[in-house]
């Protein structure tokens, strides 16, 4: 018999976390940790934000679930907020990032078939991408590690080198339907796509008459100091997936699209039992109202500057361990010359929660309510851990 009744697809830390307040979380025995990963960029407003607790508990006493056969008004309200704040004309609500991606992929193929081009089915993605764990999502990202053992890869997906404009241009054919990309790659190594590349992508898609799909599941929800990361560039996608932070910790995803891109999405074409359910929508509305104000975005940008400078300082102090610092806003990575996992563990032992990402990267994605003192505390811990790693390398 195995030791745990859980399917062993994760390797979580041994202690149970039972409470969270703002930037801090506590295990059952009361041990405190400073949270610099926020459930992987998900608890945008930290833990148990009073406005989110109020929104959720108030809604819990009203109505929980109705199915999309009926309206509650809450979906329309939240969709209108995202429409007013972005390129999108319409929104479909899902429960997770991978479901939002699934909707984006289906919408893209449907757009072409509904417009007389059913042969346009190919979606071009990029090396290092992560779009979630559904069949569509693992095929769109085409990471061999996540496809292995799940039978033949689905037709209609191709993976290209990251940041190679010429290779991408050459890969676009008459059967191409769209391009999917994260404006800031999360899992793949916290790599921010240069603004010029976003402009290049838009131009390529316009020329070829194909859809540009942004995966802002991790980079959205004000994480980079704009509501969505692509808004730094001035160009917009045709379709976009959002999730993680937009629910502030409550499961929720969204597929946002222009009216034109969504022209094939008619009654019965797509759906979800729980997508847009009243509990998620009540929290989603409360999250949006907090994270979208100019003052909040200013705070994120201020904190991003502090964090960015502090990370540059770490790089200067530990040249033997830190290769580079990357990312954007409050989604940051420290590129290391070694496996980040032992360092992540050492941070944990010193009371700091951080993540890791592909390519030997330590990932930082604190709740957006982080302040300067939290940043100093976290940097102090990472500084000490990097110092130990350097000393070990020296001794070896």
Ligand X SMILES: *Cc1c(COP(=O)(O)O)cnc(C)c1O
Query: Rule CB under 6 A: which residues touch ligand X?
Result: 96-98, 101, 130-132, 182, 186-187, 215, 217-218, 243-244
Closest distance to ligand X from the beta carbon of 101 (Å): 6
Q: Which is nearer to ligand X, 96 or 139 (CB)?
A: 96
Closest distance to ligand X from the beta carbon of 51 (Å): 23
Q: Let me know: does 120 contact 176? Beta carbons within 8 Å.
A: yes
Give the residue from 250, 231, 213 showing the smallest Cα distance to 106: 213
Q: Which is nearer to ligand X, 74 or 217 (CB)?
A: 217
Q: Which is nearer to ligand X, 35 or 102 (CB)?
A: 102
Closest distance to ligand X from the beta carbon of 308 (Å): 21
Closest distance to ligand X from the beta carbon of 275 (Å): 13
Closest distance to ligand X from the beta carbon of 100 (Å): 8
Residue nearest to ligand X (CB): 97
CA 157 – CA 140 distance, rounded (Å): 6
- 256 φ/ψ sector (left φ>0, alpha ψ -120 to 50, else beta): beta
Q: Let me know: does 344 contact 357? Beta carbons within 8 Å.
A: no
Q: Which is nearer to ligand X, 213 or 310 (CB)?
A: 213
Q: How crowded is residue 340: how many other Cβ atoms within 10 Å of its Cβ?
A: 22
207: CB partners within 8 A, 6+ apart: none
Closest distance to ligand X from the beta carbon of 243 (Å): 5
CA 163 – CA 127 distance, rounded (Å): 9
Q: Which is nearer to ligand X, 46 or 97 (CB)?
A: 97
Q: Which is nearer to ligand X, 190 or 321 (CB)?
A: 190
Q: Which is nearer to ligand X, 186 or 237 (CB)?
A: 186
Closest distance to ligand X from the beta carbon of 344 (Å): 17
3-class secondary structure, 24: strand
Q: Let me know: does 333 contact 184? Beta carbons within 8 Å.
A: no
Q: Which is nearer to ligand X, 105 or 311 (CB)?
A: 105
CA 300 – CA 220 distance, rounded (Å): 13
Q: Which is nearer to ligand X, 187 or 238 (CB)?
A: 187
Q: Which is nearer to ligand X, 22 or 355 (CB)?
A: 355
Closest distance to ligand X from the beta carbon of 129 (Å): 8
41: CB partners within 8 A, 6+ apart: 186, 218, 221, 223, 244, 245, 331, 365
Which two tokens mark 253?
A: 């995803």
Which one-letter DSSP state was computed for residue 294? H
Closest distance to ligand X from the beta carbon of 68 (Å): 20
DSSP code per residue over 92-153:
EEESSHHHHHHHHHHHHHHHHHHTT-TT--EEEEETT----SSHHHHHHH--HHHHTTSSSP
Q: Let me know: does 179 contact 168? Beta carbons within 8 Å.
A: yes
361: CB partners within 8 A, 6+ apart: 189, 190, 326, 333, 334, 335, 336, 340
Closest distance to ligand X from the beta carbon of 29 (Å): 29
């Amino acid at each position: 018999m195995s030791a745990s009744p859980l399917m062993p697809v994760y390797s979580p830390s041994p202690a149970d976390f039972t409470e969270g307040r703002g930037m801090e979380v506590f295990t059952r025995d009361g041990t405190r940790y400073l949270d610099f990963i926020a459930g992987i960029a998900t608890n945008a407003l930290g833990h148990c934000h009073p406005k989110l607790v109020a929104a959720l508990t108030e809604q819990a006493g009203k109505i929980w679930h109705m199915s999309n056969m009926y309206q509650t008004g809450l979906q329309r309200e939240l969709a209108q907020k995202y429409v007013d704040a972005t390129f999108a004309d319409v929104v479909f609500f899902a429960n997770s990032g991978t479901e939002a991606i699934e909707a984006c992929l289906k919408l893209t193929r449907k757009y072409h078939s509904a417009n007389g081009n059913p042969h346009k089915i190919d979606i071009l993605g990029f090396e290092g991408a992560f779009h979630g764990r559904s069949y569509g999502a693992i095929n769109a990202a085409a990471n061999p590690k996540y496809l292995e053992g799940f039978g033949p890869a689905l037709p209609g997906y191709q993976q290209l080198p990251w940041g190679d404009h010429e290779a991408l241009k050459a890969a676009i054919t008459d059967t191409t339907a769209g391009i999917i990309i994260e404006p800031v790659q999360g899992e793949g190594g916290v790599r921010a796509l240069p603004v010029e590349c976003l402009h290049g992508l838009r131009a390529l898609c316009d020329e070829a008459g194909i859809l540009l799909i942004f995966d802002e599941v991790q980079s959205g929800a004000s994480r980079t100091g704009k509501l969505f990361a692509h808004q730094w560039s001035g160009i917009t996608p045709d379709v976009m997936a959002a999730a993680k932070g937009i629910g502030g910790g409550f499961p929720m995803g969204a597929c946002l699209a222009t009216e034109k891109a969504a022209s094939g999405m008619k009654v019965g074409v797509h759906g979800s039992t729980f997508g847009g359910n009243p509990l998620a929508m009540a929290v989603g509305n409360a999250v949006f109202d907090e994270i979208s104000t100019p003052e909040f975005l200013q705070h994120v940008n201020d904190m991003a500057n502090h964090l960015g400078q502090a990370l540059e300082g770490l790089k200067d102090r530990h040249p033997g361990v830190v290769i580079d610092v990357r990312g954007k806003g409050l989604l940051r990575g420290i590129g290391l010359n070694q496996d980040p996992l032992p360092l992540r563990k050492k941070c944990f032992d010193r009371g700091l929660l951080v993540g890791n990402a592909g390519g030997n990267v330590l990932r930082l994605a604190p709740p957006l309510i982080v302040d300067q003192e939290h940043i100093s505390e976290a940097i102090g811990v990472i500084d000490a851990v990097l110092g130990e790693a350097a000393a070990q390398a020296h001794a070896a």
